[in-house]
Structure 1
């Protein structure tokens, strides 16, 4: 049954929220100030019609918007969208009882996302390849995507051809495709180990598709050219499927914020360093100790460091910082620490930092909730949060990243 609802505000995921006598109702793709007709199912509703659109509403740039689950905010005008994303950071800090200046959002979309994951399922006698449908476990076929970088124009067709080659397994697949300076870098997950026959078939397919590299579950099937990414002065070949910032512009902007926060540092620790996007840029003017839990990422970093001239010394250590965080006596030897943990944050490491004499911490986060939790621990340990800069490299999504700078007012004795 249809209901008429008035939207009062936006939720964290971008859903419009209506206040009713029965409680809040979340309406995807509705905006504050709008009157809408919707079909309600508990606290969620499906938008049927916009009776009175808001001034902040604009036309979506993609015909698949609202059907494809990849974007949540193509209907928002730019100023409204930017304020909504920034407010996520402000709200998360306030809920944690933290007062700190929050800068205007940094647009880091650049040329677009350089990595994309397609899902493939055997349906109707063939392989259906695409993105997850909005709020569904189904798939929606995608021929082109406006938020991807130009280097990924071929990605949908490449994903379809590779999935077709593996259709006989009848297994659901995830195909991660990354644009590199040498061409497309593909890592396929979900199939399990590849036998000799499949490896040969995939090698031949990689040749026909002119792929730079093709891997399965991180194991390289064929590398025709190193899939290099430029990080500062270094040309780095990340491990298959390894972490990479979503956009090249995002990596540059975040690295610049990190560097600007520690202008006088001489020796820093780069924790959760990945394959070195911050390490290589910082090493142009200071010594860097990179720590990362993934062995493949550390090997990529070391190979690139050995081939790059004009850098200060970079040392590297494979270490699980969740189980074995750097201890106080180790931290005290650095002028600053950079943290770039996964979504779960870095609680164990932050507790050690809070107990140390370390002067400066630059925290790069992809989750405002875990950042706020960890920030509260640092503040309780004597740090002040100097400021936070939100960075948007996932345009039209609800996702926001940030860089926070913490300083200790007085060195502990």
Structure 2
């Protein structure tokens, strides 16, 4: 405990900087507490009393931008304070929870610029910390549409657009629940930014890596189920060109990742996690292999079927689009083959068995033996034969 206290004091003082008086750190903490309480209570006047925007700046109006989000908690934890006269920079961890969806607070690293006037500290700006991803409200005023099993949050999107996402999400949740017998929250939060650039900002990554990707799911893999709820983040540019069928498949696919998250571990290869999500997405749609796997069908008909199941590297977002499509199609057909040959229950049991393994090495091999009573060599050969029969 003594070591922890010493470390906390060192952080507040700032590494290599002049020590900050305890009164300044205490005053800033109280300021952030008042700010958090105002946001949570929806008290605009109290929030305005924590701010003194710098002249000539156009900082986002955080209070207005988050107002539509149903918040259950909002808290700042000061981790570092660097002061120079009447100005200071605070590093803080923002912890917030969306009501009815998050099982624990989500965290966001924030940087706040401060200024002291008449004996009081004020926030002049708040922004994501360097190298930290943006939050949706950093990009503009958030609109919210609450569904039976979903919450859709968007920026720069009309209520009609957000309602369409809500309908897709509300259909995805029961479809996933019907396919995945495991315990999961049976709720999803969908974020719809203004553009691909906005999506990349939320992920803290270059936009080029997500061009053509309709949506991704963020969250902590594995664990005991106490992690905060996942977020499905939509790329409106790629998602928007899909038809109604494609939009539903994509959102059901991503919702499957939310449902299987605690059973998806470092032992789970991407061909299984992505293939299973596609299998749930296409389940019950009547889509044939030829319709859903055009790239792989072309390769099979050209006499170039894959020799083995796709490795993790084949699923990289920045990879060749044809290779990426063949990876997803081959993974889906592997899961479809298991369902047709062994049954749906064996498919979900296989998924769980692989994820329960302590390490990647041997995970698939052991699950093939224990659940499907086969070997990797026999399974791969059967899959290659299945591809030729379905796509040839």
Same-fold call, TM > 0.5?
no
More helix by share: 2
Larger Rg: 2
TM-score normalised according to structure 1 size:
0.23
Higher relative contact order (CA 8 A, sep 6+): 1
TM-score normalised according to structure 2 size:
0.24
